[in-house]
Amino acid sequence: MNAVHKPGKPTKAELAAHDEAVATAGSKTAPRAIEPGFGGIIGQDQALNGLQSALLRNRLPHALLFNGPSGIGKATSAGVLTQALNCVKSGPGDACGTCSSCHKVERGLHPDVLWVAPHKGRIRLQQISPRKSDNSETAAPHEPIVNWVGYRPYEGNRRAVVIDDAHKMNPSAQNALLKTLEEPPQSSTLVLITPAPSSLLPTIRSRCQTLRFKPLELALMRRYLEKQLAMSAEEARLRSSLAPGSLGRAINLDLDAHEARRNVAEGALQDALQGGAALLTGAETLLAAGAGERKIDQASSAIDAVRDILHDLLVLAVGNQEEMVVNFDRANEWTAWASTLAPDDIVEALGTLQQADDRLRSPLQPNARLTIEQALIGVGSALRNKTAK
């Protein structure tokens, strides 16, 4: 059917399929690295070497699954891949980032590249396959992505669909996608990105070649933040420690918010040590400083903040492990504080916090404020053990 049309001239049906696919997929583009091409992605050599070699040998699988924690370069890599597939300068093994094709991909305007992203937290059937035919219940549904990848590339070499946060596809969306995976069109590539592949149907997973992306090493992250983003050594270290393994989270971290939350948690911990009325005020302030929409989430995030401080106090109390301190900018002050505490008591306090966190996550809907108060009472009494003995 395609042969009767001039190359590059889309048919009406093709244009309609493209418009429908773009309109329903949800618009998104890949996050950018500082440098163009695969060279701009750090710490993922193993996954990317295999990918580049497949590109160069023209042996790229039709379906790929990028697996690994968030913020480590999966989506950026998928963006470079979709550029490399159509780059007119550096392709097929890499992307130049400067040619018109690479620019179009970067701006989400390339007619052969489609990103599907969650809408209000889910990828729904409508985004993969929007509506049934009007004629009959049993007629084949419209399948924008299935249709769209089936057409020959409009101006590049290969069509590419990237489904970001693929685990957020609901079961009917996953089933609709299976059709494309069962009979993948020749000149197409599908990339699923997810930190949680177990949420995908086994039949989807088995049809994809999985590429594992690893958490990044601390030293690598620090070097990148210092060299590429011109951060001070202190800021680079703090951000890397607060978001272990994830460059994306380290970059996006709101340090002011972190510091404010930490100050409140520190105050609450000191109130807990004092006990009495101070403790109750501390619990209330701590709960209010927690992040999240629901009270339970706020309480859980408040407990995290106290736990982070106790972790550092424990490291400092044991001594000789200062590189493990997360809030190293407070290390001097906290070393003095830690010297007044016994490591065993801190471990006991951490256990109390863990129990409170478990209670918060239980389906019994505990009272958030009461749980925080009880946790602080437990932490205070654990930390005072040493002086009581």
Please report, as ranges, the residues that interact with Zn ion according to CB under 5 A: 87, 89, 96, 99, 102
Rounded distance between C-alpha atoms, residue 34 and residue 248, angstroms: 12
Which lies closer to Zn ion via its Cβ, residue 65 or residue 102?
102
Which lies closer to Zn ion via its Cβ, residue 108 or residue 267?
108
Question: Could you give the 3-state DSSP secondary structure of residue 355?
Answer: helix
For helices 295-318 and 276-289, give the axis angle rounded to 10 degrees.
110
In the complex, the smallest distance separating the C-beta of residue 69 from Zn ion, rounded to whole angstroms, is 29
In the complex, the smallest distance separating the C-beta of residue 100 from Zn ion, rounded to whole angstroms, is 8
Give the pairing type, strands 209-212 and 159-163: unpaired
DSSP category for residue 39? G
Task: Record the tokens describing residue 252, joined without a space.
Answer: 């996006």
Which lies closer to Zn ion via its Cβ, residue 96 or residue 218?
96
Rounded distance between C-alpha atoms, residue 191 and residue 194, angstroms: 10
Cis geometry, peptide bond prior to residue 92 (ω within 30 degrees of 0): yes
List the 63-67 sheet strands across, edge first: 113-116, 159-163, 188-194, 63-67, 209-212
Which lies closer to Zn ion via its Cβ, residue 102 or residue 326?
102
In the complex, the smallest distance separating the C-beta of residue 216 from Zn ion, rounded to whole angstroms, is 26
Which lies closer to Zn ion via its Cβ, residue 26 or residue 156?
156
In the complex, the smallest distance separating the C-beta of residue 101 from Zn ion, rounded to whole angstroms, is 5
Phi and psi at residue 77, to the nearest 5°? -65, -40
Rounded distance between C-alpha atoms, residue 163 and residue 64, angstroms: 10
Which lies closer to Zn ion via its Cβ, residue 81 or residue 305?
81
Question: Could you give the 3-state DSSP secondary structure of residue 136?
Answer: coil
In the complex, the smallest distance separating the C-beta of residue 56 from Zn ion, rounded to whole angstroms, is 16
In the complex, the smallest distance separating the C-beta of residue 159 from Zn ion, rounded to whole angstroms, is 17
In the complex, the smallest distance separating the C-beta of residue 113 from Zn ion, rounded to whole angstroms, is 13
Phi and psi at residue 144, to the nearest 5°? -60, -40
Bridge-partner residues for 169, per DSSP?
123
Which lies closer to Zn ion via its Cβ, residue 98 or residue 199?
98
